[in-house]
Structure 1
Amino acid sequence: MKKRTLIILSIVGFVLLLGIALAVKVFGDGKTEKDGYNTYQVKADNPIRITGKVSPNTIKTYQNNSQLGDFVSVQVEDGQYVQQGTPLINYAIDWTQRQSLVNQVNQAEADGDQNAINKAWQQLNRYDGQVNNSIYATFPGTVSLQNIKNVGEGEAILQLISDEPEIQTTVSEYDLDKIKVGDKVNIQVNSTGKKGTGKIIKISQLPTSYKQEGSAAQASAAGVSAQASSGEGEENGTSLTTNNPIQNNPSGGNSNETSKYEVIVGDLDFKVRNGYSVEAAIPQDTLKLPKEVLTKDNYVYVVDKQGKAHKTKVEYDEENGTLIVKKGVKKGDKLIKNPDSKVQDGKKVEVSE
């Protein structure tokens, strides 16, 4: 009886030892002879997701300027596309005012007084600039009529909308260092599903919190400037005032809030209506690796299409336990995870699918 028990115990012990050996083989080094080594395929970091609305690069509002003369009519239609220099508005202009300025130039040049010449030309150029700015299209764009009947002084007659749409959005401080001017942006219009591309044309230097604080400072400075312009020192009803506000020790917003920076995406390669909302992605070229691919001497093994392992030196920075590749491997490379002494440079290696 004892002999039979010993035989049974021996068999059980043998089975247990065999099971332990198999477990070590399978789980001890993360691979089996059949499955081979696990691998990691090098891939780029996830794209930065942004949202925004399409808006024109520039909108110019043409207001009734009675200093030129009485408003007569517009010379364009609503929705009409115009080139730079196209006449938009008719005024009953009294050209004797300009002729008077021309006469002043001629008289100053005849007298040879350089200071008088400069001043006369300055006044004439200012008048011509005012006429051009109030009548002609200063850039190519689409006309939007606002009011063409009983227009009061300073009231809007029409708007000129530039034909260069942009997307205004923001990125957080955590993504700011991952982007730069000129980066490609993949765009999709929410309402239509239309897709296209653009590129980053501007990244603000200060977060949006500074912009909000700066607006308050400008409003305060504007009030001071207005008071200054109504004081003494005016000559012939005109005065020179400045409005360059200074912010001392700006706070930059709540220290507990994540800063956001304004980003403008332009150079869109497709037509899209102003005001449409979009979702976009900024592709990232940064390559990241897990620590498991490193050998003890900080190399990696790259497996080629023939299944051969190539020992490769990789340069990297470490960030929160992840390796940020600087040099050595490229997107799509297949690397051996947990390489051991059995892996040899230039030799074929079994890898799991």
Structure 2
Amino acid sequence: MKKKWIWSIGIITIILLIIVAFVLRQTNSNSEEKDSYNTYKVETEHSLNLEGKASPHLVKTYNNNSQIGTYISTQVDDGQSVKQGDPLINYDINGNKRKQLANKVDEAQTSVNEDYQKINQSPSNNDLQKKLSQDQNTLNQAQQQLIQHDKQINDSVYAAFNGKVNIKKNDDISDGETIIQLVSNESEIKTAVSEFDLNKIKAGNKVDVKVASTGQKGEGQIKKISELPKSYESNLRESSASATTSISGDDNEGTSNPVENDPSGENDSESSKYTVVIGDIDIPVRAGYSMEIKVPLDSIKLPKTVLTKDNNVFVVNHEGKIKKRNIKIDKINGEIFVKDGLKKGEKLIKNPKKTMNNGDKVEVSS
């Protein structure tokens, strides 16, 4: 009887130990589950992918200009590479005209010099002061005429920039008819971004470019972002053309500089697009080539799940300890962007609890 009682106590003790062990295990398991958190690794946004067309940075047209002389011939071959300042067209320029203009400058300068000498002798003579003012105006006009003459010759004869020559016609050319087009060596790419991506880029950003047809890769830089949407620019160009046509039909002289009051042109159902010009391209790109552009973005975008109620975050270090950090954010189109306070690669607690404190050690599951 005594043996049975001992056996019963032993069995009960074993059962109790098993129950205690199970309870402890469940408690530990629940504790671990309670302190286990998912994390989010801070990353910059994916590159912005754009498409565009390559074009020359500059194209200059050289027309037959009879005002500087009689056209004789071109001084370059079709497709020839030239440098800024190289002569392109040969005119029979009337040298007497420049000589006459230069003589006028010399004569006006002599008169001014004489005026100063007389004023030094009679400083209180108002008539001499008036004559000096008149002679100075004459000198300024003569100098401007000479400068304009030289500029016209330079603009009609010499290469304005480095590029390649495209001869349109080289004989039997009427006055004002195109002789040469000079195409700059420097290329640029025009593309467009939507209003939702506009704030992600800025002038000066480096970009990766790729020629769609050949796969050749290179780099470039955003040179300009238009202030107005493309549709507004088109509308303003049409308005400007209409204003020019209207003035050309009038007897009034001068240039029109119209002011657009509440310019229109946008479709309310579509997002606006803005022209972006990319230059400083480090690979040769032929005009008209289709280009693929990638704009690396430095902006950091966060999911809502990592924010506390006061829009801060808990950062986890390599020891598993957390620290609450104040960050600055912007909310744009429903997305959260970090202005300051976080770096790429840092880990944040997802769904942080109110009870979390600086220095707490947590288990992370990812």
Q: Which moved more, 1:285-294 or 1:79-88?
A: 285-294
CA gap of 1:312–1:110, structure 2 versus 1, over 3 A, is closer
TM-score by length of 1: 0.80
**Is 1:49 matched up with 2:40?**
no
Letter in 2 for 1:181: A
1:295-338 Cα deviation digits (max 9, x unpaired): 46654332333444344333334456643223332111122223
The separation in 1 between residues aligned to 2:79 and 2:313, in whole angstroms, is 62
Q: 1:207·1:252 contact (CA, 8 Å) conserved in 2? A: no
1:190 Cα deviation from its structure 2 partner: 0.6
- Superposed counterparts of 1:114-133, under 5 Å: 114-133=136-155
Partner residue in 1 for 2:351: 338
Partner residue in 2 for 1:219: 241
Partner residue in 1 for 2:64: 64
Partner residue in 2 for 1:237: none
The separation in 1 between residues aligned to 2:289 and 2:36, in whole angstroms, is 52
Q: 1:168·1:264 contact (CA, 8 Å) conserved in 2? A: yes
The separation in 1 between residues aligned to 2:263 and 2:208, in whole angstroms, is 35
Partner residue in 1 for 2:185: 163
Structure with greater helix share of residues: 2
- Count, aligned residues: 319
Q: Which moved more, 1:312-321 or 1:40-49?
A: 312-321
Q: 1:217·1:246 contact (CA, 8 Å) conserved in 2? A: no
Q: Which moved more, 1:128-137 or 1:294-303?
A: 294-303
Gaps of 5+ in 1: 1-17, 233-239
The separation in 1 between residues aligned to 2:69 and 2:354, in whole angstroms, is 91
Q: 2:315·2:322 contact (CA, 8 Å) conserved in 1? A: yes
1:83-114 Cα deviation digits (max 9, x unpaired): 21111111112212222222333333344422
* SS of structure 2 residue aligned to 1:202: strand
1:348 Cα deviation from its structure 2 partner: 4.7
CA gap of 1:308–1:130, structure 2 versus 1, over 3 A, is same
Partner residue in 2 for 1:11: none
1:201 to 220, 223, 228: 223
The separation in 1 between residues aligned to 2:293 and 2:184, in whole angstroms, is 22
**Is 1:253 matched up with 2:266?**
yes
* SS of structure 1 residue aligned to 2:298: coil
CA gap of 1:107–1:277, structure 2 versus 1, over 3 A, is same
1:260-302 Cα deviation digits (max 9, x unpaired): 1111111223222222111112222221222322346654332
The separation in 2 between residues aligned to 1:227 and 1:298, in whole angstroms, is 63
Partner residue in 2 for 1:267: 280
The separation in 2 between residues aligned to 1:246 and 1:318, in whole angstroms, is 35
Q: Which moved more, 1:129-138 or 1:333-342?
A: 333-342
Q: Give the superposed CA RMSD.
A: 2.9
1:345 Cα deviation from its structure 2 partner: 4.1
Partner residue in 1 for 2:313: 300
Partner residue in 1 for 2:18: none
The separation in 1 between residues aligned to 2:58 and 2:178, in whole angstroms, is 16
Partner residue in 2 for 1:236: none
**Is 1:276 matched up with 2:289?**
yes
Letter in 1 for 2:101: L
2:167 to 113, 120, 145: 145
Partner residue in 2 for 1:309: 322
* SS of structure 2 residue aligned to 1:43: coil
The separation in 1 between residues aligned to 2:340 and 2:39, in whole angstroms, is 19
Letter in 1 for 2:220: G
CA gap of 1:210–1:338, structure 2 versus 1, over 3 A, is closer
**Is 1:287 matched up with 2:300?**
yes
Q: 2:196·2:333 contact (CA, 8 Å) conserved in 1? A: no
Letter in 2 for 1:273: R
Q: 2:64·2:176 contact (CA, 8 Å) conserved in 1? A: yes
Partner residue in 2 for 1:3: none
Percent of aligned positions that are identical: 49
The separation in 2 between residues aligned to 1:322 and 1:97, in whole angstroms, is 68
TM-score by length of 2: 0.77
1:225-265 Cα deviation digits (max 9, x unpaired): 3234xx48xxxxxxx52132332332242322322111111
**Is 1:136 matched up with 2:158?**
yes
Q: 2:315·2:349 contact (CA, 8 Å) conserved in 1? A: yes
Q: 2:229·2:272 contact (CA, 8 Å) conserved in 1? A: yes
The separation in 2 between residues aligned to 1:262 and 1:319, in whole angstroms, is 21
Partner residue in 1 for 2:101: 101
Q: 1:172·1:260 contact (CA, 8 Å) conserved in 2? A: yes
The separation in 1 between residues aligned to 2:204 and 2:194, in whole angstroms, is 18
1:212-231 Cα deviation digits (max 9, x unpaired): 22122222222233234xx4
